[in-house]
Structures are given as structure tokens and as C-alpha cells.
Chains A and B, each alone.
Chain A
Amino acid sequence: AQKVTQAQTEISVVEKEDVTLDCVYETRDTTYYLFWYKQPPSGELVFLIRRNSFDEQNEISGRYSWNFQKSTSSFNFTITASQVVDSAVYFCALGFLDTGNQFYFGTGTSLTVIP
């Protein structure tokens, strides 16, 4: 079965703190893709990153970094020096090329950054 688990429902941090959002996935496929999306209070869904199953290199983009570990089926997302504008719901997703590019979303983690 394909599944994405985001165990943290809500997180609150004070501005400038670092925060890590957890994502654990389940699949028996060897080829898959992992994604993070941000949904700010305005409601749109914004793509943040894509990672394929053969690329375990961690990635850093400004204050954002992602840690992909196949051994633990995790794809965690860290925001360094958080800012109020980072307040949003963050979704992790698992995708495949077959079955019509089916995507499996986690239930989201609501992050609140307190000024």
C-alpha cells in the first residue's frame, strides 16, 4: 500500500527558531517521487521540492533543507531561522509515473511561527 504519514499535526515555534517537519512514506515500488508543498493561509498550493527515489542527496535551498533517507523511508523538511511568512500547512506527497501519476498526500502539518 502507498501511504504518507505526517505525524505532526500542528507545530508552533518562535521566530528564528529552526523547525523540522517529519514525513514518513510507505511503498513497495522502487521508483517513486517525493514532494513537499506549502499551503499558506491564502489557500493556494505551492510546490517546494521534488526528489526521486534514486537520489538520496540532501538538498538545501536558502533556509529550507530536505533530508531524504530511504533506510527509514523518511523525507524530512527543515526550516532554518523560521519567519512569520513560513506559517502555513505543509504537505508531503508520494508520486508515481504509473497509474496516471497518482499522488498520495500526507495529512499536512500546520506550522505557526510566532513573532
Chain B
Amino acid sequence: DTAVSQTPKYLVTQMGNDKSIKCEQNLGHDTMYWYKQDSKKFLKIMFSYNNKELIINETVPNRFSPKSPDKAHLNLHINSLELGDSAVYFCASSPRRVSGTPVHFGPGTRLTVT
């Protein structure tokens, strides 16, 4: 029944490691996103994909690489993790070209880099 799911929910790792966060949506939506929420609760978009095509790529270090194997999945791979990458990462989805339908969020992945 989960609309947007993310794994893992918590991720603790050391600096310099490479890690991935997986996201899946079963809503049939065309567009998926990754958002980062920092310690001050500020939400900022990182990437947006529509039908597997990258359409938004905000100013994000190239250590972050999204991968969309199909339109139901948008995974986030992070290389050479840094302390500043510690945050909560939210995956989200929405149908494109449908008037005002809200973005549905996953439960978030809390990443802690030590």
C-alpha cells in the first residue's frame, strides 16, 4: 500500500564511503524527485526525473548521481561521502501535467556521516 518507499530509513557511514538510497513509487507517476532536508529543516530539491529523463539538476556536487532504471524507481548514489552530506533525504513523486497534484513524499532516509 505504500505509495513512495525509500530504503534504508537510516544510514550511518564513515567519510569517504560510497552509499546508495533506493526509492520506488507505485502510484504510476511520471515524475520523481530527490529532496535534501538539512538540520535546520530547510527542504531543497536536488534532482527531478520525468519518465527516466533528468529534467532538474540543482547545484549539487557531482558526487551525487541519480539513477532511474524505470519510471517507478529513482535511486540516489553518493560517492566519497562528506560530513556535510548528513541530512534527511526525501524521495517524492508526482504526475506530470496533471493540474496541481501534490508531490507525494517517501518517509525519508536519515543519513549520518561520521
Q: Which residues of A contact B (CB under 8 A)?
A: 33, 35, 37, 39, 43-45, 47, 50-52, 89, 91, 95, 97, 99-103, 105, 107-108, 110
Q: Once bound together, how far apart are the Cα atoms of A101 and B104, in whole Å?
A: 12
- Chain A binding surface SS class: strand
State which of B43, B44, B100, B108 has its C-beta within 8 Å of the C-beta of A52: B100
Please, which residues of chain A bring their CB within 8 A of the CB of B48?
Answer: 100-102
Q: Which 5 A-B pairs have the closest CB atoms?
A: A100-B55, A45-B105, A105-B43, A33-B100, A100-B48
Instruction: State how many angstroms separate the Cβ of B49 from the closest Cβ of chain A.
Output: 8
State which of A45, A50, A107, A108 has its C-beta within 8 Å of the C-beta of B100: A50
Please, which residues of chain A bring their CB within 8 A of the CB of B99?
Answer: 52, 97
0/1 per residue, B73-114, Cβ < 8 Å to A? Answer: 000000000000000101000101101111111011010000
Q: Which residues of B contact A (CB under 8 A)?
A: 31, 33, 40-45, 48, 50, 55-56, 88, 90, 94, 96-97, 99-105, 107-108, 110
Number of residue pairs A-B, CB distance < 8 angstroms: 62
Please, which residues of chain B bring their CB within 8 A of the CB of A52?
Answer: 99-100
Please, which residues of chain A bring their CB within 8 A of the CB of B44?
Answer: 105
Give 12 new A-B contacts, CB below 8 A, not counting A44-B105, A97-B97.
Answer: A35-B103, A44-B107, A47-B102, A50-B101, A52-B99, A52-B100, A89-B41, A95-B103, A102-B45, A107-B40, A107-B42, A108-B42
Does B100 lie within 8 Å of A100, measured CB to CB? no
- Chain B binding surface SS class: strand
Smallest CB gap from B103: residue in A: A103
Instruction: State how many angstroms separate the Cβ of B21 from the closest Cβ of chain A.
Output: 15
Please, which residues of chain A bring their CB within 8 A of the CB of B31?
Answer: 100-101
Please, which residues of chain B bring their CB within 8 A of the CB of A33?
Answer: 100
Please, which residues of chain B bring their CB within 8 A of the CB of A100?
Answer: 31, 48, 50, 55-56, 96
A-B contact pairs, 28 of them (CB 8 A): A35-B102, A35-B103, A43-B108, A44-B105, A44-B108, A45-B105, A47-B102, A47-B103, A47-B104, A47-B105, A50-B102, A51-B100, A95-B100, A97-B97, A99-B56, A100-B31, A100-B48, A100-B55, A100-B96, A101-B94, A101-B96, A103-B33, A103-B45, A105-B43, A105-B44, A107-B41, A108-B43, A110-B41
